[in-house]
């Protein structure tokens, strides 16, 4: 695709905020490009006004597992009063392209589309099936997006290789440049704690107060966070081995390293009454456990049971398994070496450093089924992780034009090498 810059700018100009009509417009724009290249597409949807798009380049005799190129075209909205450029302008200024979605994650959509079209144009035999999958609703939990696609196409999610968002951003750590590639995600478990007691007017508090029971248990639970020692530390140990140290002079890198070896508890929601002069008879909170891959829900429940006292009830509301690439798998080693070599040949000498994704992505729907998921949209130091993080969902989201074009070349060559 010769006009990757123009394609990105056009896609950014479509204000495809989650659940807005423009989600469909963005998908149909990609559909039109694919059809112009003679590639058949399939619309997958729970709601006909909210489309996901799948395209397939089949191999005659597949020698490897399929490669699935995934990204989402929906975005969060932006406050125009706080931006210096139009939120959906796709304006190029000073060597950067500005607009919502430049980093999350329309740049990856076009990088993947470019590589996909180039495979088709090559006319050469593929050694694996290759899929291009653009979805919606990722920013709101993926109910109408990847979650539904998985129900409609379950076989696609099993034992595939997947290129996903979340990585590819560089970081300078201890004097060396690294390209960060995500290789897994934490599990997330939501637990509701509730208590009941004697309610009444705040002027006459009794001894049997629901909120006091719950407060005591919360203090106990958060105070015991260090007991959450389950799950796999393989990603963190691999990071330490590549870095040659467990210490990082870059604060963002230090946070990423710590995150890759830590289980945490957060307060997700609460209901403790809405009137200042009333003691509530019933209260509840929802805790969110973010725990390392390999953690089982039974381990979290056992922790809760140890620290919940009489008078407080618990309920496991949901549990989404984490996943992590197998570090003994030759596929991951090949990914690391290929990205290092191609990046160097394209002008950026770096090491490749695996990490756990900092949030939940659509990759979780594949990783939980045994697929190898790599988060990688390769970029240059102009878009280093510490620069990018405040811009994702923030004001004046932008990407360096040079960095973006570099990523298009690297991902194109990487996919070509692994498919032809």
pLDDT of residue 198: 78
User: Dmax of the chain from CA atoms?
Assistant: 81
Distances (CA, A) of 68 to 54, 65, 406: 10, 10, 21
Contact (CB, 8 A) for 171 and 385 = yes
Token pair of 111 as six digits: 């990088």
Instruction: Compute the distance between CA of residue 290 and CA of residue 113 in angstroms, rounded to an integer.
Output: 33
**What pLDDT band is residue 201 in, cutting at 50, 70 and 90?**
low
Report residue 202's pLDDT band, with 50, 70 and 90 as the boundaries: low
Q: In this structure, are residues 150 and 221 in contact, taking their beta carbons and an 8 Å threshold?
A: no
Residue 19 is predicted with a pLDDT of 98
Nearest to 135 by CA among 74, 49, 185, 69: 74
Per-residue pLDDT tens digits for 79-128: 999 999 999 999 999 999 999 999 999 999 999 999 999 999 999 999 99
Beta bridge partners of 201: 278
Strand partners, 265: 289
**Per-residue pLDDT reduced to its tens digit, 258-314:** 999 999 999 999 998 777 667 788 999 999 999 999 999 999 999 999 999 888 999
Q: pLDDT category, 330, cuts 50, 70, 90?
A: confident
Per-domain residue ranges of the chain: 4-184+323-419, 187-228+263-320
CA atoms within 13 A on the CB side of 355: 29
Contacts made by residues 29-32, CB under 8 angstroms, sequence distance 24+: 30/73, 30/109, 30/113, 30/134
Q: Indicate the length of the chain as a whole number.
A: 420
pLDDT value of residue 277? 63
| Cβ-count burial 51-70 (b if 16+ within 10 Å, e if not) | bbbbbbbebeeeeebbbbbb
Local structure of residue 140 (DSSP, 8 states): G
CATH code, 187-228+263-320? 3.30.70.360
Q: Place 205 in a pLDDT band, splitting at 50, 70 and 90.
A: low
CA atoms of 349 and 317, how far apart (whole Å): 46
Locate the DSSP E strands across 258-306: 264-271, 278-279, 282-291
DSSP string, 360-374: --TTHHHHTTT-EEE
**Backbone torsion region of residue 374, taken as left when φ is above 0, otherwise alpha when ψ lies between -120 and 50, otherwise beta:** beta
> DSSP alpha helices (H): ranges in 198-296?
210-223, 234-243, 251-259
- For residues 322 and 359, is the Cβ–Cβ distance under 8 A? no
| Three-state SS at 386 | helix
Band of residue 208 on the pLDDT scale cut at 50, 70, 90:
confident
Q: What share of the chain is helix, strand, coil (3-state, %, to 5)?
A: 35, 25, 40
Kindly report the CATH class assigned to 4-184+323-419.
Answer: alpha beta
């Amino acid at each position: 695709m010769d006009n990757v810059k123009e394609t990105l700018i056009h896609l950014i100009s479509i204000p495809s905020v989650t659940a807005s009509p423009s989600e469909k417009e963005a998908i149909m724009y990609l559909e039109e490009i694919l059809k112009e290249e003679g590639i058949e597409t399939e619309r997958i949807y729970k709601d006909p006004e909210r489309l996901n798009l799948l395209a397939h380049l089949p191999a005659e005799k597949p020698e490897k597992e399929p490669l699935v190129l995934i990204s989402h075209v929906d975005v969060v909205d932006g406050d125009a009063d706080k931006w210096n450029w139009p939120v959906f302008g796709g304006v190029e200024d000073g060597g950067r392209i500005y607009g919502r979605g430049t980093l999350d994650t329309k740049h990856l959509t076009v990088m993947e589309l470019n590589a996909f079209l180039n495979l088709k144009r090559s006319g050469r035999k593929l050694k694996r099936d290759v899929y291009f999958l653009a979805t919606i609703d990722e920013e709101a939990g993926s109910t109408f997006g990847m979650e539904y696609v998985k129900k409609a196409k379950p076989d696609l999610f099993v034992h595939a290789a997947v290129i996903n968002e979340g990585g590819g951003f560089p970081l300078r750590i201890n004097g060396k440049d690294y390209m960060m590639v995500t290789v897994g995600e934490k599990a997330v478990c939501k637990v509701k704690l509730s208590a009941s007691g004697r309610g009444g007017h705040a002027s006459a508090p009794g001894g049997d107060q629901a909120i006091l029971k719950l407060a005591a248990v919360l203090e106990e639970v958060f105070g015991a966070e260090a007991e959450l020692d389950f799950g796999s530390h393989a990603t963190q140990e691999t990071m330490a081995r590549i870095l040659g140290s467990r210490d990082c002079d870059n604060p963002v890198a230090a946070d990423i390293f710590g995150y890759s070896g830590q289980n945490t508890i957060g307060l997700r929601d609460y209901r403790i009454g809405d009137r200042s002069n009333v003691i509530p008879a019933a209260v509840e909170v929802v805790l969110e456990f973010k725990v390392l891959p390999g953690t089982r829900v039974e381990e979290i429940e056992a922790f809760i049971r140890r620290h919940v006292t009489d008078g407080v009830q618990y309920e496991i509301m949901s549990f989404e398994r984490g996943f992590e690439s197998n570090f003994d798998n030759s596929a991951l080693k090949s990914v690391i070496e290929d990205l290092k070599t191609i990046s160097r040949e394209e002008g950026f000498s770096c090491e490749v450093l695996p990490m756990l994704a900092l949030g939940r992505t659509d990759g979780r729907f594949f990783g939980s089924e045994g697929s190898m998921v790599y988060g990688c949209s390769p970029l240059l130091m102009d878009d280093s992780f510490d620069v990018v993080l405040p811009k994702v969902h923030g004001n004046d989201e932008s990407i360096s034009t040079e960095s973006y074009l570099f990523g298009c070349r690297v991902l194109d060559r990487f996919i070509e090498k692994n498919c032809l």
